């Protein structure tokens, strides 16, 4: 196995571990740590260096910037938290336009499952100003990891 493949799989394992920590922390504390988001962003830079692909970096950074601007409006309207905004931006930095549609589908599915489970009191939720609030980080993490497993892992092992 070439060193690039081993390095890619190592970076993906680190991303998976960080996303697991996001899932656990957001479930318990309703927060996404800035340090974790920053580490995920840095790992993307490392990944681009391993791939030696500047166009991947520029293209994905452009998509992430557009997503950030759109989601900042949702944040401004109180529709989502700041941690979720940052985590989704970094997810699109990693996944880009080519995997964005699959990620969105998986995110919708994971969110519906989470909301249903919260409604049944199987997963945490809380009332805030007559609204039910659920942590969005777990759904983002599950959709992100699933997208990477379905798209990137087969390419790396081919």
Q: What are phi and psi of 55, to 5 degrees?
A: -65, -35
Q: Which domain holds residue 64?
A: 3-157
Which residue is listed with tokens 């993490």? 141
Q: Are 48 and 57 in contact (CB under 8 A)?
A: yes
Cα angle value 46/48/53 (rounded, 5°): 150
- For 48-76, the pLDDT digits (tens) are 999 999 999 999 999 999 999 999 999 99
Both structure tokens of 106: 């998986």
Alpha-carbon distance 106 to 102, whole Å? 6
The DSSP symbol for 135 reads -
User: Using CA atoms in the order 122, 91, 128, 26, what is the torsion angle rounded to 10 degrees?
Assistant: 50
For the question of whether the overall pTM of this predicted structure is more than 0.85, the answer is yes
Cα angle value 76/78/80 (rounded, 5°): 100
Alpha-carbon distance 92 to 140, whole Å? 11
Alpha-carbon distance 115 to 97, whole Å? 26
- pLDDT (tens place) for every residue of the chain, 158 residues total: 688 888 988 999 999 999 999 999 999 999 999 999 999 999 999 999 999 999 999 999 999 999 999 999 999 998 888 999 999 999 999 999 999 999 999 999 999 999 999 888 898 888 877 777 889 999 999 999 999 999 987 776 66
Both structure tokens of 77: 């309207």
The total of structural domains in the chain comes to 1
Instruction: Tell me the sheet residues that pair with 133.
Output: 126
């Amino acid at each position: 196995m070439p060193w690039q493949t081993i390095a890619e799989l190592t970076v993906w394992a680190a991303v998976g571990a960080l996303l697991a920590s996001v899932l656990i922390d957001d479930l318990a504390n309703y927060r996404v740590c800035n340090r974790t988001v920053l580490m995920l962003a840095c790992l993307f830079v490392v990944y681009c260096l391993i791939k030696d692909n500047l166009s991947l970096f520029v293209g994905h950074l452009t998509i992430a910037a557009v997503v950030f601007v759109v989601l900042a409006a949702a944040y401004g309207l109180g529709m989502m938290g700041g941690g979720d905004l940052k985590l989704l931006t970094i997810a699109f930095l990693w996944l880009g336009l080519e995997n964005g549609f699959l990620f969105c589908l998986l995110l919708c599915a994971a969110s519906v499952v989470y909301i249903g489970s919260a409604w049944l009191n199987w997963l945490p939720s809380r009332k805030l100003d007559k609204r039910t609030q659920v942590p969005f980080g777990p759904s983002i993490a599950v959709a992100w990891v699933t997208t990477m497993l379905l798209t990137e892992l087969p390419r790396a092992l081919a």
